[in-house]
Amino acid sequence: MTTQVPATPFTEPAPAELLERVATALKEKNFAVEILDDAEAARERVKELIPEGALVFTGASETLRLSGIDDDINTSGRYDSVKARSGTMDRATQLSDIWRLLAVPDVIVGSVSAVTESGSLVVASASGSQLAGYSGAAPKAIWVVGAQKVVPDLDTALRRIEEYCLPLETERAMKVYGVPSSVNRLLVLNKEPMPGRGTVLLVREAIGF
């Protein structure tokens, strides 16, 4: 008789020792890394990292929304918000201009679906709007990552996306857009070719999904 192994819930924050190991692995791959106590600390650190007036794009992220970072960037007037600017543009005639803004802001801010113990960042997206900036087009990238997103390896990261993130994102998308979400694009950042371009703020608590 085979024992059924229960599915990992993917909600438990990684312990301090594991977070330190992940931070070390990310640093070895040229990411700048900070471990912060909570979402409020991350919110304050993001303000310090982004120059006032910078052109900033925020990838869709419950982590940013729940922490207040999304509002800080897109509604405070402190920055040149890509979302605010593109919201006034005509998608029928200026779509290519909108996509250029999304791809090459001064700073892109978001989160990831998972981070592996070996230091890879894994991002799932329905539209792909944030992926060009994440992968290298934006001169500076900042990811705010809750400790519950740490997984052992890439296989577990993909399982986390399909089994945990996607159902929650579909629920959110149905409420906001009236259509389900889907994993149309995947990005794996294994290493940062430009040391320090990407900053990972690891938050000790669980936030987002």
The one-digit pLDDT tens for each residue of the chain (209 residues) are 333 334 457 999 999 999 999 999 999 999 999 999 999 999 999 999 999 999 999 999 999 999 999 999 999 999 999 999 998 898 889 999 999 999 999 999 999 999 999 999 999 999 999 999 999 999 999 999 999 999 999 999 999 999 999 999 999 999 988 999 999 999 999 999 999 899 999 999 999 99
Residue 1 lies in a domain: no
Residue 191, SS3? coil
For 149, the domain range is 16-203
pLDDT of residue 7: 47
Residue 157 amino acid letter:
A
CATH number of the domain enclosing 41: 3.40.50.10420
- DSSP one-letter code for 192: -
Residue 9 lies in a domain: no
Residue 60 amino acid letter:
A
pLDDT of residue 6: 40
Residue 3 lies in a domain: no
Contact partners, residue 182, CB within 8 Å, separation at least 6? 126, 166, 170
Residue 192 lies in a domain: yes
Residue 145 lies in a domain: yes
Q: Model-level pTM? A: 0.93
DSSP secondary structure string for all residues of 154-186: HHHHHHHIIIIIHHHHHHHHHHHTSS-----EE
Residue 26 lies in a domain: yes
- Count how many domains the chain has: 1
User: Burial code of 72-104, b = ≥16 C-beta within 10 A, e = fewer?
Assistant: bbbeeeebbbbbeebeeeeeeeeeeebeebbbb
Structure tokens at 62: 């419950």
Residue 187 lies in a domain: yes
Residue 154 lies in a domain: yes
